[in-house]
Structure 1
Amino acid sequence: MTYHSNEQCTMFSTLLLLNVIVSCQADLAAPVINVSLDEPPEVRWAQLLEVYDTDYLKKAAAEVIDTTVPKWVHHAVIPVVEALEKYVPPPYAGEIRGLASHVGGSITDIILLNFAYEISAFCTSIIAQDTSGHLYHGRNLDYPHDILRNLTIDILFVRNGTVAYRGTSFAGYVGLWTGQSPNKFTISGNQRGKDHWWDWWKNWVSAFLLKSSPVSWLVRETLEDAVDFQDAVMRLSKIPLITSVYYIVAGVKPGEGVVISRDRKGPADIWPLEPWNGGWFRVETNFDHWVMPPVKDLRRDAANEALNATGPDNINIYTLYKVLSLSPVCNRITVYTTTMSAGSPEKYNTEVRQEGCHSNV
């Protein structure tokens, strides 16, 4: 990694701040709801109705489904609905059934909505360690549906009156692409590569016949069950998935940071932090870190340049947010930005990018 002079860093920080001011004027904190893990799965998501109108949720779900899910999948889901508990593991079968009841929609639509979000999450995730050994984790979630900005929520998953873990998701979606287990680790997931129409068939078979896990369900299960960073990395690396993904994980101890490039059956690559060797941060978008991204995708280069200019002496939750706000790291389809640090769980923050961020990508 290369470093810049103090004068260059000051100039760069000023430009970053100006960019944040311009691009984030309309950004809003995501609404927060509680999901009690002590309650039966069928009633856990009832608090959604305190935030959203049911008619709006049904219309929003229909828009996402109609523009994302192939028509043949609508028919393929029928046997799953008829034998929900056989194909969908707990607690998700109960939660899906409960969401359909709360919203007044069909179980078919809730299942289709959940799998729609499994296929197209374009993202930038960053983990970084400062010179004192503190770890920071940030992510932009990019998705080509404007309506998702109105559906973004922060969720506190509560057990025995205490927050067991938290995450950021969309109303009606039981999985997590972003989350934090307090004082243990943080996780974000990025789509790996480009899926094609036939991958829906692969994903469907993997999920319901081969019993592989949707990528967002594994994030949630890891947040709930893993005891520490190492345990989280093992779970995220080895459990079969319905599709390829990048899992980005940060812990609480110096050096606890890794990008896991996943195939369906296991890890294709493990890319850890190496702060003692100059590797104090890792940037992951939607392409393998050992290959060049497409010429028009400048997110990785822009983030690398901004982090090098910031340096490990100056990285913190606020400067990381500035990097994630820089165009084209933040772009016109960016839905939300989350910054988090498992060692300081109170700093978890999600900003909804109400108008995206303007860029040429």
Structure 2
Amino acid sequence: MIMIKMYLVLLMCLIYSVAAQVPPYTETCVQGAYPPKAHLKVPEYVINLDLPPSQRWNQLASDKKNEIRTILDAFKTFIGEFGIIAKEVIYFIDLLGPLVVDALPQPFQDELRGISNATGIEIGEITLYNIFYEIFTVCTSVIAQSPTGKLYHARNLDFGLFMGWDIKNRTWYITEKLRPAIVNLVWQRAGKTVFKSVNYAGYVGILTAVSPGQFTLSMNERFNIDGGYRGIIDLILTGKGTWMGFLTRNTMETAQSFDEAKYMLTFKQMIAPAYFILGGNKTGQACVITRNRKVNGTDIWQMSQAGGWYILETNYDHWKAPFFLDDRRTPANRCMRNMTQNGVGIAGLFNMLSSKPVLNKLTTYTALMQVNSGHLETWLQYCDDPCVPW
């Protein structure tokens, strides 16, 4: 059902783009895009893990409550205009939201309740806010190795595919609302940094992160029928499975090495399928973990199998061709080959991720990480016309 919806929405977007007369463009690999203008760099907050879970998000939630409210309002407006998933989502908000939060493990249950209290937003809506990132994310992630063996991990996070194309402005409704909520987080315990991440304010899971000196991680959505609402119901009825964002959060908090992180991300039943792009701190130490909701069928694709000096993942199994209306993989690989290994670094990867259609109307941010130094920088992304919707 999820795959059918995805294809229907992509076809609908194609019709929208034609109706909006989005001009054609030529695929080129951008040079000189880095560094972006200073105002595009996202703000940074500290999350103190020594505080009680209900208090950890108070400052951030208070500062960004208007942005969170705006995102939720836009989402509900979209639901009212598009009937394709309206009944399912409204049912979830009214009934399943509070039930789901009661079923969550600690500290996530208390963290969500704390955010609800700090923002004044109902707990069912905060729960929804923390779940829909796992269902509607379209991304590009890459790990590349410099000639000296140093690993760099970069990603575009594209969000809003199912959430309304604005024909007049040639933008996605939710994508435009999300950018003001993007923050870098420094997670600390006893005054020391445990890891760093990029988050939408109020989202307590992890989509992009670096454990300094240990490993880097990004998550891309995997379109698969075995997930989504089916996984949610399974969790409520049987207690089996975990939210992807909570699994990655636990991994970032507790794993002490690339191998330990890989084990945690491979052998845990989840709510929905996913791709985990995982990099280590040693030459050649990088892989894409293709996950089913259950452990069976997991595929681990090593960087050595992908060509030796980089590994790249969008939202399709690496052994299959991407959907013909959503091929970001081919131009991204072309730009990587044009860049060559000698160009691997922060600037080179930002340039690649700023090349269309890897950069598109759904792109909210580009994150750039280097594991040895624990470096993380994040930039808001906008795709000026001519630009494709996805």
Q: Distance in 2 between matches of 1:140 and 1:249?
A: 15
- Structure 1 position 240, deviation (Å): 0.6
Q: Distance in 1 between matches of 2:190 and 2:260?
A: 23
Q: Which residue is equivalent to 2:244?
A: 215
Q: Which residue is equivalent to 1:283?
A: 312
Normalising by structure 2, what TM-score? Answer: 0.81
Is the 1:143–1:333 contact (alpha carbons within 8 Å) kept by the matching residues of 2?
yes
Is the 1:332–1:357 contact (alpha carbons within 8 Å) kept by the matching residues of 2?
no
Task: State the one-letter code of the partner of 1:207.
Answer: L
Q: Distance in 2 between matches of 1:116 and 1:325?
A: 25
Counterpart mapping for 1:34-45 below 5 A? 34-45=46-57
Q: Which residue of the other structure, out of 339, 349, 368, is the alignment partner of 1:339? A: 368
CA distance 1:263–1:224, shift in 2 (3 Å): same
- Unpaired runs of 5+ in structure 2? 1-27, 80-87, 161-173
Task: State the one-letter code of the partner of 1:341.
Answer: Q
Is the 1:185–1:251 contact (alpha carbons within 8 Å) kept by the matching residues of 2?
yes
Q: Does 2:96 match 1:77?
A: yes
Q: Distance in 2 between matches of 1:36 and 1:133?
A: 33
Q: Which residue of the other structure, out of 185, 188, 195, is the alignment partner of 1:165? A: 195
Q: Secondary structure of the residue that 1:77 maps to in structure 2?
A: helix
Deviations 1:53-92 (A, max 9, x none): x3443232232355467112123325516xx45x110110
Q: Which residue is equivalent to 1:292?
A: 321
Deviations 1:289-308 (A, max 9, x none): 11111223231111111111
CA distance 1:291–1:355, shift in 2 (3 Å): closer
Counterpart mapping for 1:260-339 below 5 A? 260-266=289-295, 267-274=297-304, 278-339=307-368
Q: Which residue is equivalent to 2:215?
A: 185
Q: Which residue of the other structure, out of 249, 253, 274, is the alignment partner of 2:282? A: 253
Q: Which residue is equivalent to 1:9?
A: none
Q: Secondary structure of the residue that 1:124 maps to in structure 2?
A: strand
Q: Secondary structure of the residue that 1:348 maps to in structure 2?
A: strand
Deviations 1:127-152 (A, max 9, x none): 11122111110000001222111111
Q: Distance in 1 between matches of 2:268 and 2:241?
A: 8
Normalising by structure 1, what TM-score? Answer: 0.87
Q: Which residue is equivalent to 2:137?
A: 121
Task: State the one-letter code of the partner of 1:43.
Answer: Q
CA distance 1:51–1:74, shift in 2 (3 Å): closer
Task: State the one-letter code of the partner of 2:116.
Answer: A
Q: Distance in 2 between matches of 1:101 and 1:348?
A: 30
Q: Which residue is equivalent to 1:96?
A: 112
Q: Secondary structure of the residue that 2:298 maps to in structure 1?
A: strand
Q: Secondary structure of the residue that 2:68 maps to in structure 1?
A: helix
Q: Secondary structure of the residue that 1:101 maps to in structure 2?
A: helix
Q: Distance in 2 between matches of 1:167 and 1:325?
A: 21
Is the 1:180–1:186 contact (alpha carbons within 8 Å) kept by the matching residues of 2?
yes
Deviations 1:321-361 (A, max 9, x none): 1111111111111011001011121x311101145785234
Q: What is the percentage of aligned positions where both structures have the same residue?
A: 33
Give the superposed CA RMSD. Answer: 2.4
Q: Which residue is equivalent to 2:378?
A: 350
Deviations 1:244-289 (A, max 9, x none): 10000001101110000000112531101118x8421111000001
Is the 1:180–1:187 contact (alpha carbons within 8 Å) kept by the matching residues of 2?
yes
Q: Which residue is equivalent to 2:205?
A: 175
Q: Distance in 2 between matches of 1:315 and 1:218?
A: 30
